């Protein structure tokens, strides 16, 4: 069973939990969007309305599949766990902003966390680096680069992921046993990191 919560973003209300739309259960963290077929009724309330449309555009173009490979490690510490390999969660006091408003109305750095996050009390490993504290290198598919940490997350958490050989300039389409997904491309000068 895939834990869709790992593909959600607690900081953004519309994608803070999985949602059902048009026969699929979706989870999105802002960079990775995954979908699993379901018989559940559509979700009520605040969720992205166009998730289904993203998957329909160009999905069935008959592209051949290649096995997704784990990206290489870089020479840099993971920016999410700062190299200690421990999972971080958003701070309850500042709601992940890193700032705290005092009684006088001024904003100060939150004294309860480090830049909006605290080490998770459950002892889990960092999802971004796999727990070894070393960042992944970005990976190229076609002419486009994708975040190595996102590819590594897909590899670790989804069964048998496969990508299409042709990535668009904006998104990498992939499938896994039981579902399909989209990964947003990197933009700017980020190829080596």
Whether 11 and 53 map to the same domain: the answer is yes
In a domain, 59, yes or no: yes
Whether residue 107 contacts residue 116, with contact meaning beta carbons closer than 8 Å, is answered with no
Residue 193 pLDDT level (bands cut at 50, 70, 90): very low
Whether 79 and 66 map to the same domain: the answer is no
Q: What burial letters (b/e) apply to 149-183, b meaning 16+ CB within 10 Å?
A: bbbbbbbebbeebebbeebeeebbbbbbeebbbbb
SS3 37: strand
Q: Which residues contact 128 (CB under 8 A, 6 or more apart)?
A: 78, 79, 80, 81, 135, 149, 152, 153
Tens of pLDDT, residue by residue over 5-40, are: 889 887 788 888 899 988 889 998 888 999 999 999
Return phi, psi of residue 65, to 5°: -100, 145
Whether 43 and 91 map to the same domain: the answer is no
Handedness of CA 105, 106, 112, 117 (dihedral sign): positive
Whether residue 117 contacts residue 88, with contact meaning beta carbons closer than 8 Å, is answered with yes
Whether 93 and 176 map to the same domain: the answer is no
What 8-state DSSP symbol labels residue 55? H
Whether 84 and 64 map to the same domain: the answer is no
How many domains are there within the chain?
2
Tens of pLDDT, residue by residue over 152-162, are: 889 888 998 88
- 47 Cα distance to chain centroid: 17
Whether 82 and 67 map to the same domain: the answer is no
Whether 13 and 43 map to the same domain: the answer is yes
In a domain, 103, yes or no: yes
Whether 94 and 170 map to the same domain: the answer is no
Residue percentage of the chain with pLDDT more than 70: 77
Q: Where among 119, 149, 175 does a domain terminate?
A: 119
Whether 20 and 68 map to the same domain: the answer is yes
In a domain, 83, yes or no: yes
Q: Which residues contact 6 (CB under 8 A, 6 or more apart)?
A: 27, 127, 153, 157
Tens of pLDDT, residue by residue over 55-103, are: 665 455 444 556 677 788 888 898 888 888 888 777 777 777 777 777 7
3-state DSSP percent of the chain in helix, strand and coil, to 5: 10, 30, 55
Q: Which of 151, 185, 183, 179 lies closest to 26 in space, CA to CA?
A: 179
Whether 44 and 19 map to the same domain: the answer is yes
CATH number of the domain that residue 34 is part of = 3.70.10.10
In a domain, 168, yes or no: yes
Residue-number span of the structural domain to which 16 is assigned: 4-72+137-184
The three-point CA angle 119-187-70 to 5° equals 60
In a domain, 131, yes or no: no
Take residue 45 and report the two structure tokens written for it.
Answer: 């309330």
């Amino acid at each position: 069973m895939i834990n869709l919560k790992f593909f959600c973003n607690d900081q953004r209300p519309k994608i803070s939990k999985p949602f059902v739309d048009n026969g699929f259960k979706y989870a999105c963290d802002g960079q990775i969007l995954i979908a699993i077929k379901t018989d559940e009724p559509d979700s009520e309330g605040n969720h992205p309305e166009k998730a289904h449309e993203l998957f329909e555009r160009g999905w069935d173009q008959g592209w051949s599949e290649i096995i997704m490979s784990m990206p290489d490690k870089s020479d840099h510490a993971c920016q999410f766990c700062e190299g200690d390999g421990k999972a971080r969660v958003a701070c309850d006091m500042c709601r992940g902003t890193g700032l705290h408003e005092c009684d006088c109305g001024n904003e100060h750095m939150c004294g309860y966390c480090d830049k909006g996050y605290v080490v998770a009390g459950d002892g889990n490993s960092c999802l971004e680096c796999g727990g070894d504290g070393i960042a992944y290198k970005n990976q190229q598919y076609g002419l486009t680069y994708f975040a190595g940490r996102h590819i590594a997350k897909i590899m670790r958490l989804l069964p048998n992921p496969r990508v299409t050989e042709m990535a668009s300039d904006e998104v990498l389409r992939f499938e896994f046993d039981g579902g399909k997904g989209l990964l947003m491309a990197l933009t700017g000068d980020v190829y080596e990191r």
